Structure 1
């Protein structure tokens, strides 16, 4: 007999609104989330009004337009979760706005499933969306819509949460954009593997080519085009270099308007509301971990927390990796997928596939909410294959946070995970001393160069010859290109008021 407090996912919903479609609706982030939430409530196959009225908490994933302390170009709601709730005609007792990070959807599922298991809640609605494509479409136009909403009311705003993956040193050296930071990590991994830039670009393309086949069959995908590895790897006018080592088609596609939502309930509430059992999907395994700060990691090309979280989630579920029937691994950049596969000994060409949506570069990377779509897809697949298990791996920050969920219709009581003890183990890992101000002889540990308004901007992470401490420094990108593979090259670094700068050593 299942404990009546056991949490189950009972409804999922998704939506897309493409500016290229004939029926483009010009939906705001709130509109997208509302449509997805209504679909999630409908998906429970129970009475809509009763299910909606049962919601005690509405929790929202922070969309891009409110992920930084800057004005929203098209306006914004002052209470995103409650804007969605108001459109649905409900007034939950509590509203939450999550921190920045792609781990957010899975983290929220785990957090509120745990609260339900503890008997503190019975019914929760999770929502997320982004209208990034609409925002770009109307940039500079006079006929832009105004999405401003003054809702007010209670809101547990958890803040941006940047402290988990940004610090003053990174900001001072302009190492803040995801392509820049991931480029540094990706090139570090390439160096560890001993691959040339051309070889590694093809490996990234070979990893992502199968993702395009999944996206091509997904009606909600931002790009429904099958592409070969050669096409993904070849730099062209339409596949320009974004930031070394990434051509455009190998990074997350943010120009999408997408939303997704999930309804969570206790078993007792699901029974009370007559939600059919064939709709119930259990969160059988779960774990959330935070990685060491970027510059302190011994291996810049890896993040062990993804592996630790996955292994713990599988342990909680009582299964092994071979028992997983479907995966969705967060794929903002290739290294996020490589890192999981490498740590779990999962072949990158595993016949089960590594995505159920098409992945962030091809399905779309709707801000912080991508994995809500992955969860919705996994839930749907588990219903179609009763007793099978699906795994969602959600990455946040700069491989800074990792949340894993294992899903199945196979019933089991809630099992707590050991995340606090594992987090202490992460804190106890060896680390590298970082020098914010650096002077003297050094060598390049990793690098990247990005295009910016027609000019190049170079950045290196280096090690001081004197004491092997690590530092960040700006560098002329042309000098990086003049030496073949810059990794391991000798440089001289100088500290200045605006950060460190480096030059190649003659």
Structure 2
């Protein structure tokens, strides 16, 4: 079908992975990893790479861990990550953007770039991301540390890291300083709602993730291409140690990776002008981008209405049903986001279509904010191999705080807008739970995690006060309560909480 020449299409995708056991491992920087992926995306267009690079007018860059908060970049960094990459490619875009923290970012940016192309505000757009976690670990205790500091002149729209939209002084004081403990609260809240036991739920998580490892084992871009059985994933061993309850290591996103990904979008008229073959064109049929309520405000911390709306809205925009979808890649930093999205779709972990194309974040790799760029790249490649099929990408950010969806196909379609802003307002208007920040008295454990990554095994508690039902957070190193949390099941346990100058403390009552 003929389409409007301003219709946005994906025309090039690229990925790069450097494993520490690879011959000639270099320990590359974020800029170098993104450059390799961007070169691959330019080559993937089938057009003249240097000509396309010179035509890129807009670049969106994803933040790495080292620039995702107040922590220093120990090996140095570029002051303008997108322009450092573009300099190496021979491009000089009019506009470059550094996106805030959030794993939904790549998918959200596909929608933003598409809208800009339709409006005539952009014509050739690069979306890129990379994560040099392996490099940081490799050089941490070495004397021959490289210096990746770069100073590049030119415009940069830095949208800020935005990390404090997910966490604040109260949650940090009570131990929510990493993704495993944050998602541990969510998975245990979901377990509470379902009424499942600890081992029963761990088995369900392992059953959900084991098929993903099979995909990762065959993916040449995987950081850990090893197939894991359900038993391996659920059994705690020295290698598969507990990180934060309820997760042993094989259920946790693998962040010690060196990976990069890049996506190239154009208008149809630009693709024709640059000679991009039509069999490279992939269209965006559906998209959505929603924001969830703040973590402690949610009535059910084991659910995500925003993610459910996002799944449904993208399908509505595309005019498709779940049965029309040929491939899925559901964001899998931990089981919780996969459970939520798969339930919204009505598919299970043993669906013959599978729930990932990459192999999932614990096995393929979890390159920070840029993982979903890899998911989109894999989806684009699959859609080209099966013209007319539809591929679904679900991308999650924050503490299940933002959820973005994209649906892709070679089938031509003009750009369609979504009701994401309206639906986000609807989610924001849902009932909330009051929070008491300095609680005193008796209460019960609503959800929890245990931090095994601290010098002293510490329980992290979200509870409800008996007096008024308000929610509170507390930590505990009380032997009896921590033993219950780590070795049995504390959901619904009765506690006494007191407020101190350094946060709230809980003990059994």
Question: What residue in structure 2 maps to residue 222 of structure 1?
Answer: 223
| Matched residue, 1:504 | 508
Distance in 2, matches of 1:108 and 1:201, equals 34
Quote the residue 2:26 is aligned against.
25
One of 481, 487, 491 as aligned partner of 1:487: 491
1 CA distance for matches of 2:195 and 2:117?
48
CA distance in 2, matches of 1:4, 1:477: 66
Question: What runs of 5+ residues in structure 2 fail to find an aligned partner?
Answer: none
Which residue matches 2:405? 404
Tell me the secondary structure at the aligned position of residue 368 of structure 2. coil
TM-score of the pair, normalised by structure 2: 0.98
Aligned partner of 1:43 in structure 2 is 44
How much does 1:312 deviate? 0.6
How far the C-alpha of 1:431 sits from its partner, in A, is 1.0
Tell me the distance in 1 between the aligned counterparts of 2:71 and 2:231. Answer: 39
Q: What is the deviation of 1:227?
A: 1.1
Question: Where do residues 114-125 of structure 1 align in structure 2 (5 Å cutoff)?
Answer: 114-125=115-126
CA distance in 1, matches of 2:435, 2:392: 36
Aligned residue runs from structure 1 range 472-483, under 5 A: 472-476=473-477, 478-483=479-484
Partner residue, 1:174 = 175
Deviation at 1:477, TM superposition (A): 5.9
* Residue in 2 that maps onto 1:163: 164
Q: Note if contact 1:456-1:477 (Cα within 8 Å) is conserved in structure 2.
A: no
Distance in 1, matches of 2:348 and 2:247, equals 22
Query: What is the aligned partner in structure 2 of residue 85 from structure 1?
Result: 86
**Equivalent residues in 2 for 1:128-143 (5 A)?**
128-143=129-144
Distance 1:105 1:437 in 2: 38
Aligned to 1:73: 74
What do the CA deviations read for 1:152-204 (whole angstroms, capped 9, x no partner)? Answer: 32100010112331122212212121111111111111111111111111111
Contact 1:7 1:264 in 2 (8 A): yes
1:118-167 deviations in whole A, cap 9, x for unaligned?
A: 12111101110011001101102101111111113210001011233112
Distance 2:77 2:390 in 1: 38
CA deviation after TM superposition for structure 1 residue 247, in Å: 0.3
User: How far has the Cα of 1:453 moved from its partner?
Assistant: 4.4
1:237-386 alignment runs, 5 A limit: 237-386=238-387
Whether the 8 Å contact between 1:304 and 1:343 is mirrored in structure 2 is no
CA contact (8 A) 2:474 2:504 kept: yes
Are 1:449 and 1:477, in contact at CA under 8 Å, matched by a contact in 2?
A: no
1:411-435 deviation line (CA, Å, top 9, x unaligned): 0111100111101111111111111
Give the secondary structure class of the aligned counterpart of 1:272.
Answer: helix
Q: Distance in 2 between matches of 1:423 and 1:446?
A: 26
Output one character per residue of 1:371-394: Cα deviation in whole Å (capped at 9) or x when no partner. Answer: 000000000000000000001000
Paired with 2:30 and 2:398, the residues of 1 have a C-alpha distance of 22
CA RMSD, 1 decimal: 1.0
Instruction: Map Cα deviations across residues 331-350 of structure 1 (whole Å, 9 max, x no partner).
Output: 00001100111222222221
Residue 482 to residue 144, structure 1, CA distance change in 2 (3 Å): closer
Q: In structure 2, what is the Cα distance between the partners aligned to 1:63 and 1:459?
A: 27
> Which structure 1 residue ranges, 5 or more long, are not aligned?
none
* Matched ranges for 1:199-210 at <5 A: 199-210=200-211
1:481 and 1:494 mapped to 2: Cα distance? Answer: 16
How far 1:306 sits from its partner (Å)? 1.1
Q: In structure 1, what is the equivalent of residue 107 of structure 2?
A: 106
Q: CA shift at 1:65, angstroms?
A: 1.2
Displacement over 6 Å in runs of 4+: none
**Distance in 1 of aligned mates of 2:227 and 2:479:** 35
Q: CA deviation at 1:480?
A: 3.1
Distance 1:156 1:422, change over 3 A: same
CA 111–372 in structure 1, closer or farther in 2 if over 3 Å, else same: same
In structure 2, C-alpha distance between the alignment counterparts of 1:343 and 1:500, rounded to whole Å: 36
2:438–2:499 contact (8 Å) kept in structure 1: yes
Asked if the contact 1:289/1:309 (under 8 Å) is kept, the reply is yes
Cα deviation per residue 1:401-457 (whole Å; 9 max; x = unaligned)?
A: 001000000001111001111011111111111111111111110111111344201
* 1:267 CA displacement: 0.5
Q: Distance in 1 between matches of 2:343 and 2:406?
A: 19
2:211–2:349 CA contact under 8 A, matched in 1: no
Distance 1:471 1:214, change over 3 A: same
Describe the superposition over 1:245-292 as per-residue Cα deviations: whole angstroms up to 9, x where unpaired: 100010000111000001000011111111111000011100000100
Partner of 2:196: 195
Distance 1:93 1:303 in 2: 38
